[in-house]
Amino acid sequence: MTLSAVPANADATGADPAGAVLHRVVVVGNPNVGKTTLYNHLTRGNARVGNYPGVTVERHVGRLAAEGPAARHVEVIDVPGTYSLSARSAEEQIAIQAVLGMDEHPRPDLAVVVVDAGQLVRNLYLVLQLVELGVPCVVALNMIDEARDNPPVPEAVSRLFGVPCVATNGRTGDGVPALIRAVETALAEPKAPSLEVAYPGELRADVDRVAEALPRALRANVERDRALARWALTSIDEDDELVAVDPGLRERVTDVRRAAGSRDVDREIIAARYAFLDSVAPSLFARGTEGRPKHAGSERLDRFLIHPAYGFAVFLVVMTTLFQALFTWAEPAIHGVEALVGALQKGAASVLPHGVFRDLLVEGVIGGVGNVIVFVPQILLLFLFVGILEDSGYMARVAYLMDRIMRSLGLHGRAFVPMLSGFACAIPAILATRTMERQRDRLLTMLVVPLMTCSARLPVYTLVIAALFPPTRVFGWVPVQGLLLVGMYFFATAFALAAAAVLGRVAVKGRKVPLILELPPYRLPKVGGTLRMMWEKTSSFLREAGTVILATTVVLWALLAFPRKVIDEGLPVAPVAAQHAIEESYGGRIGKVMEPALAPLGFDWKIGVGLVGAFAAREVFVSTMGLVYGVGGVDDGDVVPLRDRMRAETRADGKPAYSPLTGLSLLVFFAIACQCMSTLATVYRETRSLRWPAFLFAYTGVLAWAMSFAVYQGGRLLGF
């Protein structure tokens, strides 16, 4: 592994820019132990969100909420929940990198290990690894209230591992001041703990051989080297996805494992650790036997919630509520935002002198900001739900129930909620993929979610269907127009699932790791934590994707506004003049240039301009078409004139320019193409690279073109 920024044996403290001594504490623990809640207590909620180097994993950094003049400057960093330091992928590797300060991670002075008091032995497995590595620790026995029948005794744990141990209850905040004091004390008097677990003889020889091959920069002392060697033995593999592993180390590990022959090195290491923990466990509890809370209430709930019949019924209700919420509950807020933006635009328009600057401000900037803020209600609502589902433990049950179906589509069970949300809007759905642990699964879901029929496509569908399809009925009672709309939904969903299956094999590489899902006991979600997460997600979206969306809106405005042909004297512009302006604009010219590529799909340059406009937001297609056809301001409710104009449009030879077949081709195009810049901006922000949004745009664009082509030309061949 590469040299870290601070050499392994350097002095414990760094210095912050102000010159004061800065300590670093990392917070580690199993998933579902209330680590986030405790972390928020430790930092009093003022952590910033960033990313770990090289991976798209969230990293929270905050300051310890310590009191008094002797309070130190302590940076507190969270580490994603993990059961063990052993790793197979770059994401899993974060744990050991963060804890030891390797590979661009800053070296911590202390690790706070959050432990579920009701699952002590398994949680202590992680503590054991840290202690073997000589990392100074403070153990927080969290969720102590759940273990009240036979609680673990902090002093016993402390004596066993040689590290301070404090009982805490993250929900109420009990024990947090004691924890903070313990952290400060441990920072003031650093003690490197040590522990000796009995490993079998042959294994010890293997470990020593691997320890010899550790790169110099990672060596410290004999015990720590051995612990690191054990990490290497359980992590490094022929087809792992670890980063920056020293080739010499890798080779030695491979040799040692091969030389071990039929001996199972992994099992020997893990079994020895558990043997130790099992033997000392009874002495750690008040009653002298290992305590395991029954979680009877949780059991009863599960009997109902994962019941074959009731379970699915409840699941449907929950998911329908989520869906309803995103679709309709957000409506008033969205309309509110649009009204506010409209008012601001009118206000600015009336105050400023006519001209380019005014239009730039009104349509470009204010419009652009509006385009960003309009997503906020749905993001907030979705994360409210996701937060409640996750914290309560129900999300794991969703993944459990949906696994069979999702797996056959190449998707993870946890992809269900994001995919469902895609029916409302892709942006919050893409943000919600954060709940998925593996980068590969997250990426695949992000690439497929935009294919779900989002609500912005509805105005386009409605316009096209109403304009170009007759309001007749088939089979005497099924309306063609309604059937078409429902059909588009089914088509898009089927297409999305097919795309997931194909992309999962072809484009998004990564091993399919077998499922191990823990179903934690049900717990009441903590409101404060959920609200904080909602705020964090929204503000980082605004900051990062928002700037891209705003910039793109301005660019698109410019494309349709320049070169300026209309003499702006503040008089209402005649529709014909506006129409000419559009035609002569850069956007119009792009439409004309695109026409040869669009003609085989049955489109003309006017639709081309509409597509350019739709890039800002799909519903802008409708208003852009309104401008192109010279029907003046087209609002959602006022499509009748536009509809009639489109229907009446004729070609040079007098035949209708747009037929139902063109309509179908256009519907298919819109269903597939990801022309929504907000989606692309969000994918860019979530993957931190241009590659994936570019790929998303390209693959959906090509497929949209191909499908439209097939529909139109196929239809022509069949005589429509």
Residue nearer to another protein on the CB measure, 117 or 426:
117
Q: Which of 103, 268, 441, 583 binds another protein (CB under 8 A)?
A: 268
Q: Is residue 259 within the footprint of another protein (CB under 8 A)?
A: no
Q: Is residue 220 within the footprint of another protein (CB under 8 A)?
A: no
Letter string b/e over residues 279-317, b meaning 16 or more CB atoms within 10 A of that residue's CB: ebbeebbeeeebbebebeebeebbeebbeeeebeebbee
For residues 199 to 218, the per-residue mask of contacts with another protein, x marking binding by CB under 8 A and - elsewhere, is xx------------------
Specify whether the CB–CB gap between 410 and 500 falls below 8 A.
yes
Q: Which of 39, 276, 461, 699 binds another protein (CB under 8 A)?
A: 276
- Part in contact with another protein (CB under 8 A); list of ranges 119-127, 434-442, 628-636, 708-716: 119-127
C-alpha to C-alpha distance for 394 and 314, rounded to whole angstroms? 11
Q: Is residue 316 within the footprint of another protein (CB under 8 A)?
A: no
C-alpha to C-alpha distance for 286 and 141, rounded to whole angstroms? 14
Q: Is residue 190 within the footprint of another protein (CB under 8 A)?
A: no
Q: Is residue 409 within the footprint of another protein (CB under 8 A)?
A: no
For residues 26 to 65, the per-residue mask of contacts with another protein, x marking binding by CB under 8 A and - elsewhere, is ----------------------------------------
Letter string b/e over residues 184-219, b meaning 16 or more CB atoms within 10 A of that residue's CB: bebbeeeebbebebebeeebeebbebbbebbeeebe
Three-state secondary structure readout of 99-160: HHCCCCCCCCCEEEEEEEHHHHHHHHHHHHHHHHCCCCEEEEEECHHHHCCCCECHHHHHHH
Specify whether the CB–CB gap between 47 and 181 falls below 8 A.
no
Residue nearer to another protein on the CB measure, 191 or 688:
191
Written as six digits, the tokens of 105 are 């991670």
- Block residue for tokens 């209309």: 566
> Minimum Å distance from CB 238 to another protein?
9
> Minimum Å distance from CB 500 to another protein?
19
C-alpha to C-alpha distance for 208 and 326, rounded to whole angstroms? 57
Q: Is residue 314 within the footprint of another protein (CB under 8 A)?
A: no
Other beta carbons within 10 Å of 486: 10
> Minimum Å distance from CB 201 to another protein?
9
Written as six digits, the tokens of 691 are 């590659």
For residue 468, the surrounding DSSP H or E stretch is helix 457-468
Residue 571 DSSP label: S
> Minimum Å distance from CB 156 to another protein?
7
Q: Is residue 119 within the footprint of another protein (CB under 8 A)?
A: yes
Q: Which of 72, 73, 88, 181 binds another protein (CB under 8 A)?
A: 88
Q: Which of 16, 67, 212, 266 binds another protein (CB under 8 A)?
A: 266
List phi, psi (to 5°) of 382: -60, -40
- Part in contact with another protein (CB under 8 A); list of ranges 277-285, 557-565, 579-587, 677-685: 277-285
Letter string b/e over residues 535-574, b meaning 16 or more CB atoms within 10 A of that residue's CB: ebbbebbbebbbebbbebbbebbbbbbeeeeeeeeeeeee
Q: Which of 181, 250, 325, 400 binds another protein (CB under 8 A)?
A: 400
C-alpha to C-alpha distance for 176 and 39, rounded to whole angstroms? 10
> Minimum Å distance from CB 280 to another protein?
6
Residue nearer to another protein on the CB measure, 207 or 556:
207
Specify whether the CB–CB gap between 711 and 659 falls below 8 A.
no
C-alpha to C-alpha distance for 75 and 77, rounded to whole angstroms? 6
Written as six digits, the tokens of 632 are 């003046």
Residue nearer to another protein on the CB measure, 211 or 398:
398
Residue nearer to another protein on the CB measure, 4 or 235:
235
For residues 503 to 542, the per-residue mask of contacts with another protein, x marking binding by CB under 8 A and - elsewhere, is ----------xxxxxxxx----------------------
In 134-249, beta strands by DSSP E:
137-142, 165-167
Whole-angstrom CA distances from 636 to 297, 435, 595, 632, 647 are 50, 35, 27, 13, 18
- Part in contact with another protein (CB under 8 A); list of ranges 117-125, 414-422, 577-585, 647-655: 117-125
Q: Which of 312, 329, 490, 720 binds another protein (CB under 8 A)?
A: 312
Q: Is residue 261 within the footprint of another protein (CB under 8 A)?
A: no
Distance from chain centroid for Cα 245: 27
> Minimum Å distance from CB 29 to another protein?
14
Written as six digits, the tokens of 556 are 């698109």
Specify whether the CB–CB gap between 134 and 224 falls below 8 A.
yes
> Minimum Å distance from CB 292 to another protein?
4
> Minimum Å distance from CB 234 to another protein?
6
Q: Is residue 93 within the footprint of another protein (CB under 8 A)?
A: no
Q: Is residue 189 within the footprint of another protein (CB under 8 A)?
A: no
> Minimum Å distance from CB 335 to another protein?
40
Q: Is residue 197 within the footprint of another protein (CB under 8 A)?
A: yes
Specify whether the CB–CB gap between 601 and 705 falls below 8 A.
yes
For residues 129 to 168, the per-residue mask of contacts with another protein, x marking binding by CB under 8 A and - elsewhere, is ---------------------------x--xxxx------
500: helix, strand or coil: helix
Q: Is residue 270 within the footprint of another protein (CB under 8 A)?
A: yes
**Total site size for another protein, rule CB under 8 A:** 62
Q: Is residue 327 within the footprint of another protein (CB under 8 A)?
A: no
Residue nearer to another protein on the CB measure, 223 or 595:
223
> Minimum Å distance from CB 561 to another protein?
55
Specify whether the CB–CB gap between 599 and 590 falls below 8 A.
no
Q: Is residue 391 within the footprint of another protein (CB under 8 A)?
A: no
Residue nearer to another protein on the CB measure, 520 or 610:
520
Residues that bind another protein (CB under 8 A): 83-84, 86, 88, 118-119, 121-122, 125, 156, 159-162, 194-200, 234, 237, 240, 266-268, 270-272, 274-276, 278-280, 282-283, 292-293, 302, 306-309, 311-312, 396, 400-401, 403-405, 407, 513-520
